[in-house]
Amino acid sequence: MKKQKIEINLEVFETISELPKNIQELMAKAQQARENAYAPYSRFRVGAALRLASGQMVTGSNQENAAFPSGLCAERVAVFSAGATFPNETITDLAITVRAESHEVTEAIAPCGACRQSLAEYEQKQKSPINIYFMGETGDIIKVASVMDLLPLGFDAKYL
């Protein structure tokens, strides 16, 4: 038996003002999108905003449904919208933020597993990584340079 260690590198920003100006703008769009969430069941609002290589921004918010799991997470709403509207564009950056209606979320919340898998597919399709920035309502902002930092040993089309 052989053991291997998988490590990731991430950057931690203590405030939004520490982010590059273009990412501050993207996070502000994600915060606005978060307020459009349809979250009557979880009362947990998520907003996402992505930037395309052209500079165009696309937003998404979580959309719940009483018939679980028919809803969609904010990240997938944004990336699927970008894929449908701008099919040949490259996604460069993604900002994600959350807000719970019952308490203040001060920890950075990363995308769920289904979103990680969907985002990984887009990285593979475009053959370039997506910078991902995620945060709670307040607190530190974490940046990873690729979805694969969040999904090591991921599943992709080569296995089909």
At which residue do the structure tokens 């995308």 appear? 111
At which residue do the structure tokens 């997506």 appear? 130
- Which amino acid is it at 55? G
Rg of the Cα atoms in the chain: 16
Helices 74-85, 113-126: axis angle to 10 degrees equals 30
Element (H, E) at 78: helix 74-85
Per the annotation, the verdict on 89 as an active-site residue is no
At which residue do the structure tokens 């920035």 appear? 133
One of 11, 14, 75, 101 is an active-site residue; which one? Answer: 75
Q: Is 138 left (phi over 0), alpha (psi -120 to 50) or beta?
A: beta
- Which amino acid is it at 113? G
Q: Catalytic residue numbers?
A: 75
